[in-house]
Structure 1
Amino acid sequence: MNFSLSTEQQMLQDSVRRFIDRHYDFAARSAMLDGTGINAGWRRFAEQGWLCAALPEAHGGLGGSIIDSVLIAQELGRGLALEPFTGSAVLAAQTLLAAAAPEHHAEWMPGLADGSRKLALAYSEAHTRGLIDGQSTQAERVAGGYRLNGRKTLVLGGLQADALIVSAQTQEGCSLFLVDASVAGLRVRAIPLHDDTWVAEVTLEQVLVADRALLGAPGSGLDALRQGLAHGTASLCAELVGGMQRAIEISAEYLKVRQQFGVPIGSFQALQHRMADMAAELELSRSALYLLLEAIENPALHDLPLRVSQTKALVGRAAKFVCGQAIQLHGGIGTTEECSVGHYFKRAVVADQLLGSSAQHEALCASHLQARWK
């Protein structure tokens, strides 16, 4: 795998970082927490071309790859962006690409590319906790369509979505359906998270959808979900890598100016060791993310579900460690709302629970290794 960015990719990363530095500093983010600026932020994302970076050119996208999505997500992670980029622009969009027929692409991709329409993926349930196995939402075949019943949790971007991609069990197995957010019987409840972001809980009671709402063939949903979740996990881990890097930078600056006994505390060897440990965890996380990107780009050479679990487990734990250490280096001030490092830690804690926790993915890795060694 070539680890060097192309000229276009470097320009993309630089443009996102400039935007974050100029328009999305910590003060600006704090002012957006009432939710009034999120839609405006999404429109600006669309104007910059970030929402369509990895969408096909045939439908208004720029024809990029997962690497483009990761570069954007990493810089958004540095700024603790509140907009559901990973949930809507990556996770839902890539699941639609993997699952849908051409008519669905033609109907939805242009709107996703220009930001005028939003999708969200509703697959997680309370007992599955972000994993795809064991889903209980049912889709019963009826005349002219399907009847859906079930409840979905932790739907990223679900509050702003125009439609939801819902996973449900049919006679053929797991299937995906494109469900309008305003359809009768569908209820969306806002759930606040610890890091000041919001997700949706979606309840479906006797929701009727037409045959054309089915994405792909009946029973083909798992493969599309795995592909979408691979992209979504890479984007979420990139956010955490960006957040870790920024937390280390903030901590390094603080150690230079905070003094005790007449000298900067950064001169204390014990604190230097902490910074070295944080930097090591960051580089391990970055390397794991590179391996996942390689697996997504070349799935024939890798066991993609294993790479997803390995990356999510490692990066999730590393982000909590790095951002937790950043708080420790700041002392008591690091726990206040006015200090940004505490918000990076809260984001790391929440992100670790999204798309399957590090503990769950570690268990999946262990099961995979046990099966291989039998």
Structure 2
Amino acid sequence: MDFSLTQEQQQFADAIKRWVAKDYNFEHRKKIIESPEGVSDSAWAALAELGAMALPIPEDQGGFNGNAIDMMIVMQELGRGIVIEPYFATVFGVEFLKLAGTHTGVLEQVAGGEIKLAAALAEKQSRHDLFDIATMATKNADGFILNGTKTVVLHGAQADKLIVSARSNGAQRDTAGISLFLVDVTSAGISRRDYRTIDGYRAADISFNQVQVPAGALIGAESAGWEILDAASDYGVTLLCAEAVGVIEAITNATLEYLKTRQQFGVPIGKFQVLQHRMAEMFMEMEQARSMATLAAVKVSSSDAEERRRTVSAAKARVGQAARFVGQNAVQLHGGMGVTNELPAAHMFKRLTIIELSLGDTDHHLARFVAQPGFKKAA
């Protein structure tokens, strides 16, 4: 199979790379992190102008109908620049609406960069099991009443609309009985506590207290949201794997440059054979992660749900292992400077750490991979 980029894909990647280099350099990024908002309106407008917002949106809603491979290219470039804007949160939310085939007007707004989305899925007891839902959706004459709390919602305080998972029936850890809703953040009864995460991103804990939403807020069918939630989460994992590859490449290059310039005993430390071996191991980890991230992007849209789950979990586990190995070794090779905020490598390491924990860590996805039908038989 030919994995080389098309001319259009390469041009798109180059455009984002030029924007990051010109308008989103490391010093500019640090200023955004330290700002009260934690994001940049001008950066968001630039991403929309570049077409990044419209890329995953269907053509009927003013988008480019980009597939997971197209999105992989964008996420890798944003990863190289450790861009902290709410791009992932928004396009992750888009996937829910695309899978359900609903709220086309919202997709049009996303394509134009007019609104941001966030997925409010995790709860304090759920850890990586997104089917473990205590938030309740009670049906009434006007639609549904939402009550509960969602935790660590990436860019939840910067979003205009939320994708919210809630239980309309069944036990707390049942996959049946889950409903998904598109909720306006201005709805009465919503409170958001915004905070900065260790990688410079923003997240929020969001409480729903007697929040009335109309029946039209449903994403998909009532009590039948698990399949959409499961598939959209795999899509989100695929995007994170692609972003991680971009970060891994950036931190590897930064480490190599440091070894060429840092001197000891009158020579660059990159001359020491043991450090050359370490860099070779980092390079191999990077290429294995790239291969698995690409495979996930190819398979995430598969009509075979078992194949999709198996491939995506294998990719997240392998990319997570590579992220940890490369990140830890990059910090060690930089010495004490590797953990200071003055160097991009420290920021990259923190981002890799958060990616490894997002939407299921390495151990979670290894267990999920093993649990898929046919694993023991194939072994």
TM over 0.5: yes
Q: Which moved more, 1:124-133 or 1:191-200?
A: 124-133
C-alpha spacing 1:334/1:322, structure 2 compared with 1 (3 Å): same
Deviations 1:142-174 (Å, cap 9, x if unpaired)? Answer: 112111111111212211111111111113611
- The 3-state SS of whatever aligns with 2:115 is coil
The alignment's C-alpha RMSD in Å is: 1.8
Task: For residues 248-274 of structure 1, give each alpha carbon's deviation from its aligned partner in whole angstroms, at most 9, with x where no partner exists.
Answer: 111111111111112111111110111
Does structure 2 retain, via aligned residues, the 8 Å contact 1:247–1:323? yes
Q: State the Cα distance separating 1:63 from its structure 2 match.
A: 1.7
State the Cα distance separating 1:343 from its structure 2 match.
0.9
Structure 2 equivalent of residue 87 of structure 1? 89
TM-score (norm 1): 0.94
Contact (CA 8 Å) 2:302, 2:308: kept in 1 or not? no
Contact 1:154 1:354 in 2 (8 A): no
Deviations 1:304-335 (A, max 9, x none): 12222221122122112202211111111212
- Amino acid across the alignment from 2:57: L
TM-score with structure 2 setting the length: 0.93
Distance of aligned partners of 1:357 and 1:34 in 2 relative to their CA distance in 1, 3 Å threshold = same
The equivalent residue for 1:120 is 118
Q: Give the deviation of 1:288 after TM superposition.
A: 0.8
Displacement after TM superposition at 1:177 (Å): 0.8
- Percent of residue pairs identical: 39
1:27 equivalent in structure 2: 27
Give the alignment partner of residue 80 of structure 2, picking from 78, 81, 92.
Answer: 78
Unaligned runs of 5+ in 1: none
Match in the other structure for 1:135: 133
Matches of 1:155 and 1:64, distance apart in 2: 25
CA contact (8 A) 2:148 2:208 kept: yes
What pairs with 1:1-374 in structure 2 (closer than 5 Å)? 1-35=1-35, 38-88=40-90, 90-101=91-102, 104-105=103-104, 107-171=105-169, 173-300=177-304, 303-368=307-372, 372-373=376-377
Question: How has the CA–CA distance of structure 1 residues 371 and 5 changed in structure 2, closer, same or farther, with 3 Å as cutoff?
Answer: closer
Listed one character per residue, the Cα deviations across residues 73-124 of structure 1 (whole Å, up to 9, x for unaligned) are 1111111111021111x210111111243xx11x211110011111111111
Provide, for residues 11-54 of structure 1, a one-character-per-residue CA deviation record: whole Å limited to 9, x for no partner.
11111111111111211111211235522211111011101111
Cα offset, 1:132, TM superposition? 1.9
Q: Which deviates more, 218-227 or 243-252?
A: 218-227
Equivalent position amino acid for 1:55 in 2: I
Using the alignment, how far apart are the partners of 2:14 and 2:27 within structure 1? 21
Q: Which amino acid aligns with 1:233?
A: V
Instruction: Give aligned pairs, total.
Output: 370
Aligned counterparts of 1:298 and 1:224: Cα–Cα separation in 2: 14
**Cα gap change, 1:214 to 1:301, in 2 (>3 Å):** closer
SS in 1 for 2:56: coil
CA distance in 1, matches of 2:263, 2:142: 72
Distance 2:259 2:87 in 1: 33
